[in-house]
Amino acid sequence: MKRDKFDILESTCVPLPLENVDTDQIIPARFLSSTSRAGFGENLFRDWRFDKSGNRNNDFVLNNPSFKGEVLVAGKNFGCGSSREHAVWAISDYGFRAVVSSFFADIFRNNALNNGLLPVVVPENYLNYLLDKIGREPETRVKIDLEKQSFSVLPDGEPVRFEINPYKKECLLKGLDDVDYLLNIKEMITAYEFRNTLKR
């Protein structure tokens, strides 16, 4: 199935200088009863954005009008905990297209890549610099170039290279998904099953 392509993104950023942000914070379990992929953005970071009575918590960055954009910049080990893909759906549905951190939890990273949300890994000291800069200058714009695997602060910041495996990069650039790939090699899969039956 065709998905949105990802090539170059230029945007302001939303800073979230917290470490170990788990998927229960991104989307609490009580909002997981839906059977569709849509509408999770409404409850993104629900318990940090709103208090118990449903009032906006003005201290939380998503409620601060100075910060907006399609890039979320967060502390290390982002997306740890539950495997719920709803976390990625919530972040995308809210309007983010990339998340920057110094490392991501494995399952979250896979889920993000499978949904066209780009996880950008930068060195920890660069992340700290970035969080600090955005915090002080909310109008800071950044550029993510997937083809070149480069991240930079506009207009003239030194580009930082980020890693992504070539297969996933290709999928994102062309808007392809893994199911299509696997359906195309079904004969190999059947042959593998046959070989295994013979072995036993």
Partner 1 sequence: MTPKTLFDKIWDSHVIRSIEGGPEVLYIDQHYIHEVTSPQAFDGLRARGIPVFRPNKTLATADHNIPTIDQHLPIRDELSRNQVNRLAENCREYNIEYFGLNHPKNGIVHVIGPELGYTLPGMTIVCGDSHTSTHGAFGTIAFGIGTSEVEMVLATQCIIQTRPKTMRIKVNGRRGKGVTAKDMILYIISQISSGGATGYFVEFAGPAVTALSMDERMTVCNMSIEMGARGGLIAPDHTTYEYLNKIPAVESRPDFKSMLLRWRILKSDEGAVFDRELEFDASKIKPMITFGTNPGMGMGIDETIPEGDNTSSFSKSLEYMGIRPGMKLLGHPVDYVFVGSCTNGRIDDLRSFVKMVKGRKKAPGITALIVPGSKRVEQQAINEGIAEALKLAGFELRQPGCSSCLAMNDDKIPAGKYAISTSNRNFEGRQGPGARTILASPLTAAAAAVTGRITDPRELLND
| Contacting positions for partner 1 (CB under 8 A) | 1, 17-20, 22, 24-25, 28-30, 32-37, 47, 52, 75-77, 80-85, 88, 103, 105-107, 110-111, 114-115, 165-168, 177-179, 181-183, 185-186, 188-189, 192-193, 200
Nearest distance from C-beta of residue 154 to partner 1, angstroms: 27
- CB closer to partner 1 out of 80 and 160: 80
Nearest distance from C-beta of residue 8 to partner 1, angstroms: 21
d(CA 53, CA 50): 8
- CB closer to partner 1 out of 66 and 190: 190
Strands (E), the chain: 8-16, 71-74, 98-101, 118-121, 141-145, 150-153, 160-161
Nearest distance from C-beta of residue 156 to partner 1, angstroms: 30
Dihedral pair phi/psi, residue 94, rounded to 5°: -70, -25
- CB closer to partner 1 out of 11 and 104: 104
Q: Where does residue 168 rank: exposed (0-12), middle (13-18), buried (19+ CB within 10 A)?
A: middle
DSSP conformation class of 102: S
Strands 118-121 and 98-101: parallel
- CB closer to partner 1 out of 154 and 179: 179
Question: CA-CA distances (angstroms) from residue 30 to 12, 47, 129, 181?
Answer: 31, 11, 35, 34
H or E, element range at 113: helix 106-113
Residue 2 is encoded by which pair of tokens?
A: 């065709």
- CB closer to partner 1 out of 77 and 152: 77
- CB closer to partner 1 out of 30 and 155: 30
Nearest distance from C-beta of residue 93 to partner 1, angstroms: 13
Nearest distance from C-beta of residue 33 to partner 1, angstroms: 4
Nearest distance from C-beta of residue 116 to partner 1, angstroms: 11
